[in-house]
Amino acid sequence: MLVPGSKAPEFNTIACVGIEKGKEFKKISSKDHPGKWVVLYTYPKDFTFVCPTEIVEFDKKLKDFADRGAVVLGGSTDNEFSHLAWRQSHADLKTIKHPLLFISAAMGQAYGLLHPEDQVALRATFIIDPNGVVRFATANDLSVGRNVDEVLRVLDGLQTEELCACNWKKGEETLTAKIKKAG
């Protein structure tokens, strides 16, 4: 899996962006959001149980991410047609506003986010800075959902460009490194 400090691989893929006839799909590229932070999260499969809880939670927080100059992109190794069918059949997903990307095998390998046995996307999250550098990367086991508030907290910390203590929250003091002079 990519680690912080890595350059995020470029991608160009198709995404499900809505359920309105004729407006369901759009090409999405890593170059579509210049000057923005990108929060890219992946989930294992459509038509599952944990995944929609995360998708909906990310969608509820879109304004919070936008207020921080960040865009949210979700996706799995299921294709755009599967994403559309799931969105059409799942009441909570019908109105989401962020795209669900088709994570191709090549993209999954480039980001190192494929489960070693199941070859589906891990439940991974990447925060990528405006220069295309991964600043945060995490992955959970397929059965455990992530905490979207923690992703926001980390984004806040990264954007301070300062030292942030454990459990630090936006608005709190950051740490100052004090160097003691010898002698």
DSSP assigned state of 121:
B
CA angle in degrees (0–180, nearest 5) for 88-42-82: 30
Residue 153 exposure: Cα atoms within 13 Å on the Cβ side: 12
Is residue 51 annotated as part of the catalytic site, yes or no?
A: yes
Nearest-CA neighbor of 103 among 120, 116, 88? 120
Question: Collapsing DSSP states into helix, strand and coil, what is residue 103?
Answer: coil
Beta bridge partners of residue 163, listed in sequence order: 175
| Catalytic entry in 16, 51, 164, 166 | 51
Instruction: Please check whether residue 43 is in contact with residue 35, taking contact to mean a CB–CB distance below 8 angstroms.
Output: no
Which residues belong to the active site?
51
